[in-house]
Structure 1
Amino acid sequence: MPQIAEALPKYLQIAQYIRDQILRGDLNPGDEVPSERQLAADWNVSRPTSARALEALRHQGLVEKRQGSGTYVRDQQVHRRARERYGRARRTGRIYGPNEYAVIASAGYAEAPDHVAEALELGGHRRAVQRHRVTISGDSPVEASTSWFPDELGRRAPRLLEPERIREGTVRYVEEVCGRRGSYGEDRFCSRLATEDEAAELVLRLPAAVLVVQHVVYDLQDRPLEFVEAVYPPGRWAFEQGYPLG
């Protein structure tokens, strides 16, 4: 049974709980979300509070109300944050949700750029494992990303060097074969104009703005395990955060 915490308004906690279910793929496009009455009973809140939670989800563009029927998950093509992907991989063994998959464009050893070498703490040794992929949702490319791993993981986790999909996700695979468990991640965000290669992969007409996310996964010993740089086209990503004022 969900529990109400005091850090955020109750309606916002309910909305975030359902939002996470949608982003993880637990609730798919077309699925009905709990009604105001059901949310009020499940969370032990008033009907106005549950109604406000559903309204917040509608404002975020995640659900739509159908007159005389109920509230349903909208067809979304938004960025699935790393946190949700890792959660899905641990629960289901698959990192991607329904109608979403990755095409591995290249895999192998490469010399890491300065910012990658710094993030992975490679020192003077710049050779690292590189995997480049394009993520497809429905029929459209929604993400172009490159993962980097320390050189030694190529020997211990050889599938990283193969241009084939790792359905459980690269971090989950490394955990299983190397015993280095991912502990936490850090993200950095910026926006810029797409390069010609990115425009070709994401089917963009230049000039086009893109969102860039740099993501670092650390293991239980605080050692960097993976560095990912992901690029998202306009209209294909969304980040929301609720917080109290004052």
Structure 2
Amino acid sequence: MADGSSGGHAPYLQVAAQIRSRIAKGTWSPGDRLPSRGELGSEFGVGENVIRRAQELLISQGLLEGRAGSGTYVRAPLQRRTLQRTPAVDYSGLAPAGFTGTWEADSTAKVAAPPEIAARLAVEPGDLCVRTVYEFLAARQPVMLATSWEPMAITGGTVVVLPEGGPLAGHGIVARMAHLGITVARVVERPRPVHVDRDQGHLLGIATGSQATLIERTHYDTGGRPLETADVLIPADRWDITYDIALPTAGT
């Protein structure tokens, strides 16, 4: 193996040590793209699966990042962001308060609601919904993911059926529902810790199994009817979630 080896250790640990050493020496700098797995495998005398395991280890340690469709890069120092959850925050859209990046969205109509989503929307399993998948981008890289579901019984056949299409594209659920004469009265959030799966990790450039917070968020109208529900996936190494809760003052 080039650059020496760490005898007695698994091959992927040896490869990871050599990549780590090159980063420390400045051979590869933040932002540099690593050679392909095939090229690295030939250089180190191992198979591509060994290179993959070494890269996944270094991704989990924050030294590398994977970019979907592009390759593996030396990670620049992470900029932590804050997701504000306060009474003053506008909950009408999926983008976090103060988020200055962009997002990409892909909506699909007439998707059958799976049982867990149907329960959250108070509809029957299999009822038709619009599903919208979001990728939130900073410096052109995904930093947060979300999937939103809306019953077509509410928006079907209207100009606001697609959250990111039509005359109110991107205006958020409050404005879109107001167009239909529906008032969004409240939102409920249920955060819980999760580990990202392989597809999520690939999109976010982090290792499979990395820690994240999943917020199950549902909007309701004045009568308590669910209008939309979403799963918002927030990588733990990139975001601080801040809840600012006002307390009643004495005598109130």
Q: State the TM-score, normalizing by the size of structure 2.
A: 0.56
Where does residue 220 of structure 1 map in the other structure? 222
Where does residue 144 of structure 1 map in the other structure? 145
Deviation at 1:95, TM superposition (A): 7.9
Q: Cα deviations across residues 40-85 of structure 1 (Å, max 9, x unaligned)?
A: xxxxxxxxxxxxxxxxxxxxxxxxxxxxxxxxxxx75233448665
Structure 1 residues 132-141 or 224-233, which shifts more?
A: 132-141
SS at match of 1:79: strand
Distance 1:220 1:160, change over 3 A: same
Structure 1: how far apart are the matches of 2:199 and 2:88?
Answer: 28
Q: Cα deviations across residues 3-48 of structure 1 (Å, max 9, x unaligned)?
A: xxxxxxxxxxxxxxxxxxxxxxxxxxxxxxxxxxxxxxxxxxxxxx
Matches within 5 A, 1:44-63: none
Structure 2: how far apart are the matches of 1:241 and 1:134?
Answer: 23
Q: Which amino acid aligns with 2:162?
A: L
Where does residue 234 of structure 1 map in the other structure? 236
Checking the alignment, whether the CA contact within 8 Å between 1:112 and 1:127 is kept in structure 2 is yes
Checking the alignment, whether the CA contact within 8 Å between 2:85 and 2:242 is kept in structure 1 is no
Q: Which amino acid aligns with 1:77?
A: R
Structure 2: how far apart are the matches of 1:95 and 1:166?
Answer: 17
Deviation at 1:236, TM superposition (A): 2.5
Distance 1:161 1:168, change over 3 A: closer
Distance 1:145 1:242, change over 3 A: closer
Structure 1: how far apart are the matches of 2:158 and 2:141?
Answer: 30
Deviation at 1:206, TM superposition (A): 2.2
Query: Which structure's CA Rg is the greater one?
Result: 2
Match of residue 200, structure 2, among 190, 198, 201: 198
Q: Which amino acid aligns with 1:142?
A: V
Checking the alignment, whether the CA contact within 8 Å between 2:83 and 2:242 is kept in structure 1 is no
Structure 2: how far apart are the matches of 1:108 and 1:96?
Answer: 28
Q: State the TM-score, normalizing by the size of structure 1.
A: 0.57
Where does residue 79 of structure 1 map in the other structure? 83
SS at match of 2:239: coil
Distance 1:108 1:87, change over 3 A: closer
Deviation at 1:242, TM superposition (A): 6.2
Would you tell me which structure has more helix in proportion to its own residues?
1
Q: Which amino acid aligns with 1:104?
A: A
RMSD of equivalent CA atoms: 3.1
Where does residue 130 of structure 2 map in the other structure? 129
Structure 2: how far apart are the matches of 1:138 and 1:220?
Answer: 39
Structure 1 residues 234-243 or 207-216, which shifts more?
A: 234-243
SS at match of 2:241: coil
Give 5+ residue unaligned stretches, structure 1: 1-74
**Identical-pair percentage:** 18
Alignment coverage as a number of residue pairs: 165
Checking the alignment, whether the CA contact within 8 Å between 2:136 and 2:145 is kept in structure 1 is yes
Matches within 5 A, 1:84-233: 86=90, 97=98, 99-161=100-162, 164=165, 166-169=169-172, 171-233=173-235
Q: Cα deviations across residues 134-186 of structure 1 (Å, max 9, x unaligned)?
A: 111343322111111112234254444376593222x1342232111110111
Where does residue 14 of structure 2 map in the other structure? none
Q: Cα deviations across residues 108-130 of structure 1 (Å, max 9, x unaligned)?
A: 22111211100100025522111
Give 5+ residue unaligned stretches, structure 2: 1-78, 248-252
Distance 1:98 1:231, change over 3 A: closer
Where does residue 12 of structure 2 map in the other structure? none
